[in-house]
Structure 1
Amino acid sequence: MGFFARLGTLTPAIALIAGLAAAPAFSEEGFWTNGVSSLGELKYKPGFSHFDYVNPEAPKQGVLRLSEFGVFDSLNPIPNKGNLALPVAALVYETLMKPSLDEPLSTYGLIAESVSYPKDYSWVSYRLNPKAAWADGKPVSVEDVIFSFDKAKEFDPAKAFYYQHVVKAEKTGEREVKFTFDEKNNRDLVATVGQLTIVPKHWWEATDARGVKRNVGATSLEPVMGSGPYKLVAVSPGSTLKFELRDDYWGKDQPVNIGYNNFKTIEYTYYADIDVEFEAFRSGDSDFWAENEAKRWATAYTFPAVQQGKVKKEELPNDYRSSGVMVGFIPNLRREQFQDARVREALNYAFDFETLKRTIFYGQYSRINSYFYGSELASSGLPQGKELEILTELKDKVPSSVFTTPYSNPVAGDEGKLRQNLRKALGLFKQAGWELKGGRMVNVTTGKPFQFEILLSSNIIERVALPFAANLKKIGVTATVRSVDASQFTERWRKRDFDVMYQGWAQSLNPGAEQAEYWGSKAAAAEGTQNYAGISNPAIDAIIRKIIFAPDRDAQVAAVKALDRVLLHNYYIVPSYTLRTNRIAYWDKFERPAELPHYSSGFPSIWWAKGQ
C-alpha cells in the first residue's frame, strides 16, 4: 500500500475525532474557546505560540518524493465516488479545526479561530479566522462552510449518515457559522463538525478553463483550489501528483502551523504493483517507505544503501498510541448464508493464525481479539460492574456466552489442533442446518452448496486468504479468492457487492457517533457507510446510544466494552492480525524534532529536508 493507505486509517474516510469532556465554564449561551478536548483539559491555552513537539525554526526547503499504491481518478473530496487522491485532501484543503499530535483527542482553531457550544451540546458555532483565504486571495467565508457542509451531506451517503443529527447550518455573524443539532447531550457532534473539509463555493460554482461549469458532486481531475499550504501544480491522471508550498499561504504564521509544512515540493507517484513500488524506493526514486509485509521487513533490507547507512530503518509505536483496531474477513450478512451466527463462528475455526505467524509472518504479528484491540477500551475476561449492568439490561437480546465465556480465538499451529478446530466447525455448520455430503458442505433443506468469494483490495493478502480457503475446503466449503484494484474494491463495498471481504476499522480512544455508522441498523441499510457486514441488531443499537450519551468517562468505557463483547460473540468478523508499530524506512535526507509527538510519527508534517 501507499503512504496514506499505510499510515492512515483502515477505512476509506479519514477518522473523525469524537466526544468532548465536560467543562464547568459552560453557560446556556455557550462560551468561546480556542479548541476542544475529548479527554481532559486542553494542553494549549489561548495565545500559545506553537505546539511543543515542532521545531519552529525548521527550514522550508527540499523535495520530498513519496509513493502510493493503486490509482486515483478524482481530486474532489466532496462526493463519495471514485478513488480520491488522498494527498489532495491533506495538502490543498483544510478543516475548521486542527488536531494536536501530543494529545490523544484535542483540536485547535485553524480556519475557525474559535469555537463555542452550550452545556447541553445542542449546537456549535465557529468563528472564522479573518486571515483565512483561498489560494486566489478571496477570504474563506461562512457561505463556503455552509456550502461544504450541505454538499458533503448531499453527495456522500456516509457523511449524510454521520451528520444526520446536524439539521441546520446557518450564518449568525459576518464570520460566524452555527450548526444546530436535533438532539441534546450528543457531545460527539461538536468535535466532528470541526473536522469538516472546507471547499471554495465560488470556485466550484464557476466554470473551468474550457468554459464548462464545474460540478461539485462529480469526480474531477481538474487541479483543485484550496486554502491549504500547498498548491497542486501538476497532475498525471492516476499516476503522479506534484505539490508546491505556497509562499502566500494565509496560515503559515498561525500557531497551529508553526513548524509544519517544511518541504518546498512534494511529489507522489502511484504504482499498480507493490513490488515495483518498493523497488522504486530501494533504487532511490522515492524517499520513504512504510512497510506492511513481514517477509520484506525481515529479508529485503540488505541492499547496499541500508548497509552504508544511507537508508534508515525504524519501528515507531507513536501512531498507534491513540487508537484501537479491528481487521479481518468480514462476511456480508445481507447474504442469507451468513445470517446464522453459528456459520460465522465456524469460519473462524478454519483460520490458522499460528501457522501463518510461524511460516510467513516471521513472528511479527499478534492475533486481534477485540474491536478496540491495542487500547484501554478492549474488553477482557467476564463483564463486571457497569459493563455487566448494561449487558444484563439487554440479556434477552445478546448471546448468553457474553456472560459465561470470555471471548477467545481458536488456536491451531499444527495439524492436530487444526483438525480439532475443523471438527468444531463441522459441528457448528450441522447445528445451523448444513451437512458434509460428497465432500461438499450443502444446506440440508435446499441442497445448495456453501460457497463464497473473498474480495481483496490487493494481492498482498492472498498469502493469508489462500490458506484460509484451503482449510475451508477441507470441510467442504468452497471459498474463491479474488484481488481487484483499489477503485473496484471501493466501488464494490460501497454497493455491498461482496460475499466476504478483507477490511477493518480504526478506533479512537473516545468512541462516539461513528459507532452508529460502523454497527448501527440504519447504517446497514445505507449505501456507502462503514457498516460493511450489514449488522442490524437492537442490542447493539441500544449500546451505541449509551456510548454517545454517556454522562462520564466511566460510563462511556463500560458501554464501549459491552459493545465490544456483543460484537465479538456475534462473530461478525474472522479477526486477523496486527502489529502495533509502524515499520518505516527512509533515505537519510531528513531531520526531525529530537522528540516526536506522543501520538504520531509526525511524518511528513513536521519533518524537514537536510540542508545541501
Structure 2
Amino acid sequence: MAKPAVSAEKRHAIAMHGAPKYAPGFQHFDYVNPQAPVGGQLRLGAIGSFDSLNPFLLKGISPRGLGDVYQSLLERSRDEPFTLYANIARSIEVAPDRSWIIFNIDPKARFSTGDPITAEDVLFSYQTFRDEGRPNVQSYYRKVTSADILSPLSIRFTFEEEGRFEMPLILGLMSVLPKSAFETVDFNESSLTPFAGSGPYLIEKVEPGRRIVYRRNEHFWGWHLPQNKGRYNFERVIYDYFRDDDVALEAFKAHNIDARFESSAAKWSSAYESASGYRKSMPRIGLPAPMLGIVFNTRRAKFGDLRVRMALTYAYDFEWVNANILHGLYKRTQSYFENSPLAARGVINDAERLLLSPFADELPDAVFGAAFRLPETDGSGRARDNLRDAQKLLMEAGYRIENGVLKQGETGQPFEIEFLINNADYIKLISPFQRNLEILGIKSTIRQVDTASYQNRLTGYDFDMIINSWGQSLSPGNEQAFYWSRDAAATPGTRNYPGISLASVDMLIERIATARTRETLVTSVRALDRVLLAGHYVIPLYYTDRQWLAHWPEIRLPQIPSYWGTEPDVWWYEEAKQP
C-alpha cells in the first residue's frame, strides 16, 4: 500500500476558481424545489434507436437516461462555473498546487446490489476508462502519473505538470463502476445486459431500440445527500424511441409523451397549435451560447485574405434570415462566448491589450480598435450598402468583375465556393446567402453528403465552407487547444476547422488552461474572443438564451433555473387540477 501524501485539509467541495457557492452542511441546490413530491411517471421521447447499455464506449448507441443509473466521485452544481461537491467521495484532500488529490469514499456508498463502493472499484474504473474508454477520456486520464490506494476507502491520484490545475475536477467527474461486475464480462463489448450502478434509478425494462424504463431506487444510498434533495422525483422515467422528430411531436400532442424540448423555431412557432391544454415554458439559459457559424477553411488560398472573409460576412443578411426563416426567435451571435461574462464587449481594456500587444504584427488592427460588431441590414433582403462594402473589400483584395464573374486579378481564376453539409436544414440558411454571392459574381454550390463521407472530409479538412458549432462552458480549459491551436490546425481530426494558426492564440490557450484565478481566466478568454472575432474565421449565425420546453400541466418545474436552464431530474409530478 502506498505511503500517504502530505496531509491537506479535508474539503466538501472543489472549485476550478474561487470558493464554492455552497458551504459545508448546505441543504440543497437553489435551483430545485426541496418540497417536490415523489411519485408519478415521466414519459420522454428520443429519436433513433439504441443497441447498448454501456454509455462509456464509442461502440454501440446507448439510450437516454443512463446518467441517472451511475454516480461519480463528486457532483457538479449547475449554478456555478465549475464546482464539484462531495458525493461517492465524502471528502477530498488536494495539494496546494493541485499536483494530487485524495478521494475519501463515503462508508455508506453502495452499488445497487448492496455491495460497498471501495477504493478498488475507483482504481478499476480509472484504469478501465484510461485504457478502454472514449478517446477524449483516455487523453485526460493519461495525465495521471500514479494512482495509489491509501486505504480500503481512500485513493490518491497524482498528475503530470501539464493541465494539472483542472485534473482534480476531471477525475472528480469519473463514474465509479463495480470491479466485480467485470470479472466475467468484457467491458469493451457493447451489450444490452446492464451492470450495477450506484445512482438513484435502476433499469427496470428494456425493449431494444424502442423503449427503456427506469425505476426510482428507494434503497439508493445517497438520498440523504443535499445535492439529491428535490431531484429524481418520478417513480418511473420512460424513454420511447421514434424514427423521426415529427412522429415524436405527434406523440406529445396526443399526450403519449409528457414533455419535450423543441429545437426548431418553425415548430415552436406553429406546430403545437393543434393540441390544447399543454404548457410552454422558456427557462433562461446562463451558459455561453454555442458559436454556430458558416466556417471559412483558411487552408484554401481564396479564404486566406482577411478582406475576403470580411466581404463575405457583409454579404450574409442575417436580419432577413431571422425574420423569414427563423420566425424572429433568435439573436445574432456576436461572440464565441455569447450570453456569458466571458464575451468580449466594448473596446479592448488595458489587461487584454497588455496580453495581445506583443503579437500586434500578426493581429488585425481591429483587435485594438473599436468594439467588434457584425454588419446589420434592414431585413428587406436588399442589403445594397453591405454588398457595396463587400465589393469594395474584394477589389482591395485583388479581385475584379469580368462579365459578371468575380475573378482573381492575377490568375483570372473565378471565385467559386462549395458549401459542404450533411444536414438538409442548413440549406435554408445558405440559400439566401447564395443569392447575395451571385450579385458579387461568386458562383456557389451546396453539396450534401452522407454522415460518413462528411466526417471523412472534415477529418482531412477537405472543404471550402461548412456550418459548424462550437460549444463552450463558463470554465474553458484544455479543450481550447483542440479548437484553435496551431498544432490542431496541422493535425487531421481536430475541431480547428478554420485552420487558425496564430502564436497569440496559442499563448492565450496556455493562459486559459493554467489560469489560477477567475480574473486571469476571464481576461484571457475575452482576449481570445477578440482575436477570433477580428480574424473573421466564421460568419456567426444565431443563438437563443432560452430553452423551449413544451409539457403537460402535471409536469411541474422549479421557479429558478440553473445556468443549464432546466432538466428532467428537477421536475416533479403533480396531478393536474380539473377545471
Query: TM-score, normalization: structure 1?
Result: 0.82
CA 263–439 in structure 1, closer or farther in 2 if over 3 Å, else same: farther
Matches within 5 A, 1:162-561: 162-163=140-141, 165-183=143-161, 186-207=164-185, 214-216=186-188, 219-305=190-276, 310-317=277-284, 320-333=285-298, 338-413=303-378, 418-426=383-391, 428=393, 445=411, 447=413, 450-457=416-423, 459-474=424-439, 475-480=441-446, 482=448, 500-524=465-489, 529-561=494-526
1:210 matched residue in structure 2:
none
CA contact (8 A) 2:258 2:551 kept: yes
TM-fit CA distance, 1:573? 1.9
- Amino acid paired to 1:373: E
Alignment length, in residue pairs?
569
The 1:237/1:262 distance shift into structure 2, 3 A limit, reads: same
What CA distance in whole angstroms lies between the structure 2 residues aligned with 1:284 and 1:483?
36
- Which of 79, 85, 104 pairs up with 1:108? 85
Match for 1:538: what amino acid?
A
Does the CA contact (< 8 Å) of 2:318 and 2:379 recur in 1?
A: no
- Matching residue of 2:74: 97
Q: Which amino acid aligns with 1:108?
A: Y
If you compute each CA radius of gyration, which structure gives the higher value, 1 or 2?
A: 2
- The alpha-carbon deviation at position 437 of structure 1 amounts to 5.8
Gaps of 5+ in 1: 1-26, 208-213
1:18 is matched with: none
Preserved contact between residue 370 and residue 378 of structure 1 (Cα < 8 Å): yes
Deviation of 1:252 (Å): 2.6
- 2:26 is the alignment partner of 1:60: no
List per-residue Cα deviations over 1:245-280 (Å, max 9, x = no partner). Answer: 223322233232122111121111233432222222
Report SS of the residue matched to 1:316: coil
* Residues in 1 aligned to 2:353 and 2:314: alpha-carbon distance in whole angstroms: 28
Q: Whole-Å Cα distance in 1 between the matches of residues 24 and 296 of structure 2?
A: 48
Residue 299 (structure 1) shift: 2.6
Q: Deviations over 1:540-581 (max 9, x none)?
A: 110111223334333322111110011112222221111111
Name the counterpart of 1:123. Answer: 100
Tell me the CA shift for residue 161 of structure 1. Answer: 4.1
Residue type of the alignment partner of 1:596:
I
Contact 1:326 1:505 in 2 (8 A): yes
SS at structure 1 position matched to 2:428 = helix
The code of the aligned residue for 2:442 comes to G
Distance 1:455 1:236, change over 3 A: farther
Normalised by the size of structure 2, how large is the TM-score? Answer: 0.87
Question: In structure 1, what residue type is equivalent to 2:231?
Answer: Y
Asked if the contact 2:57/2:134 (under 8 Å) is kept, the reply is yes
Distance 2:130 2:495 in 1: 16
Q: Which moved more, 1:181-190 or 1:94-103?
A: 181-190
**How far did residue 302 of structure 1 move?**
2.8
Cα-to-partner distance string for 1:6-64 (whole Å, 9 max, x where unaligned): xxxxxxxxxxxxxxxxxxxxx97432101123454333333334335444453332221
SS of the equivalent of 1:372 reads coil
TM-superposition CA deviations, 1:469-521 (whole Å, max 9, x none): 44334432323153757x98778756767654433233333323332233233
Q: Is the Cα–Cα contact under 8 Å of residues 29 and 77 in structure 2 kept in the other structure?
A: yes
Question: Using a 3 Å threshold, how does the CA distance of structure 1 residues 521 and 94 change in structure 2: closer, same or farther?
Answer: farther
2:65 equivalent in structure 1 = 87
Correspondence for 1:44: 22
Cα shift readout 1:170-209 (whole Å, capped 9, x = no counterpart): 32332222222222785323222212233344434523xx
Moved more, 476-485 or 561-570: 476-485
What SS does structure 1 have at the residue aligned with 2:471?
strand
Q: Residues 220 and 467 of structure 1: is their aligned pair in 2 closer, same or farther, counting only changes over 3 Å? A: farther
> Residue type matched to 1:387 in 2?
E
Contact 2:126 2:141 in 1 (8 A): no
Q: Residues 320 and 381 of structure 2 are in contact (CA less than 8 Å); yes or no, is this contact kept in structure 1?
A: no
TM-superposed CA distance for 1:591, in Å, is 3.1
**Structure 2 counterpart of 1:573, one-letter code:** V
Please, which of 32, 36, 56 is the counterpart of residue 78 of structure 1? 56
Q: Equivalent pairs: percent with the same residue? A: 35
Deviation at 1:384, TM superposition (A): 1.7
- Residue 237 to residue 411, structure 1, CA distance change in 2 (3 Å): farther
Deviates more, 1:155-164 or 1:424-433: 424-433
Q: How far apart are 1:69 and its partner, in Å?
A: 3.5
> Equivalent residue of 1:394, what SS?
helix
TM-superposition CA deviations, 1:436-457 (whole Å, max 9, x none) = 6666666664947633233244
Q: Where does structure 1 differ by over 6 angstroms across 4 or more consecutive aligned residues?
A: 487-492
SS in 2 for 1:270: strand
